Amino acid sequence: MTIFKRHPLILFFSLAYLFSWIVWGTSIAQAYGRLSFHIPQTLAFWGLILAAYISALVTGGWPAVKEILNRVIRWRVGIAWYALAIFLTAGLGFASLGLYLAFGGVHRIGQDLNFSQFLLFALTETIFMIFTEETAWRGFALPRLQQDHSATSASLILGLFWGFWHIPLFLIPGSAQTSYPFVGFILLILPTSMFFTWIFNHTRGSVLIAGLFHGLYDATIVYLGLLNGDSRLFWLFVVVSWIVAGGVVLYEGPQRLTREQHPREITAGFSANS
């Protein structure tokens, strides 16, 4: 237990991968005829929060658990950050579409979702992501990464762990990930991770707002058809995301992405009170 208290992220990432990959592993095994059943894939996401809360309890006691819970309900943030969480992906998407059309591409929005379906998907995805991925990646992992790394470096490190966590989905027939290249997915998730950190740190570490961004991100890219159409549009979206993320870092500075209370101060009392 001592090593985990000194290095809580080792415990968290190990459990996050273990719990999720066991679930997805049954789907892969079934696809290749090794099993006659599979565990519902949604449970892989709930494995993340199990990993987050176990890691928090083991390494920081109840104060660490309460800190995550407080982040989940942290809603008193500037209205501009609500707007950014809702509309940032649309801005990136329409910029990519504009470039795509300028280069002669042809595209129709709403082929996979109509607008009513988009609104419902955005709502359900936001709620789901608040209590699963964002509780884990941003609620637990990101503040601890920022103890020893700049906001930008922490974003890239977390982006890699977050991206590679999806590997089994690329091996499950019919999953969304099978429709685009793995390298492209990783290259897209890295700037996206920086956007998450930017929003998270400017909202005093709100998992709620990070979940809002995640839900609208997923719904918007499906509604706009950014990932499942022409590969040129996908790569334009990757490039635009990197350009905008780079602009954010240049404007804020790699350290100044962090405007909430310094993570060392947030976590300092965990071991003392556990």
Alpha carbons 243 and 201: distance in angstroms, whole number? 20
Q: Looking at residue 258, what is its pLDDT?
A: 52
**Which residue from 258, 270, 274, 22 is spatially nearest to 143, judged by alpha carbons?**
258
Q: What is the pLDDT of residue 105?
A: 92
CB-based contacts of 102, cutoff 8 Å, min separation 6? none
Per-residue model confidence as pLDDT tens for the chain (274 residues): 666 677 899 999 999 999 999 999 999 999 999 999 999 999 999 999 999 999 999 999 999 999 999 999 999 999 999 999 999 999 999 999 999 999 999 999 999 899 999 999 999 999 999 999 999 999 999 999 999 999 999 999 999 999 999 999 999 998 989 888 999 999 999 999 999 999 999 999 999 999 999 999 999 999 999 987 789 999 999 999 999 999 999 999 887 675 444 444 333 333 333 3
193 SS3 class:
helix
Say what the pLDDT of residue 18 is. 98
Residues 122 and 219: beta-carbon distance below 8 Å: yes
Global pTM value: 0.92
CA distance 132 to 112: 25
Reading phi first (left if > 0) and then psi (alpha if -120 to 50, else beta), residue 105 is in beta
DSSP conformational letter for 199: H
Domain ranges for the chain: 77-273
pLDDT score for 180: 87
Please say whether the beta carbons of 89 and 223 come within 8 A: no
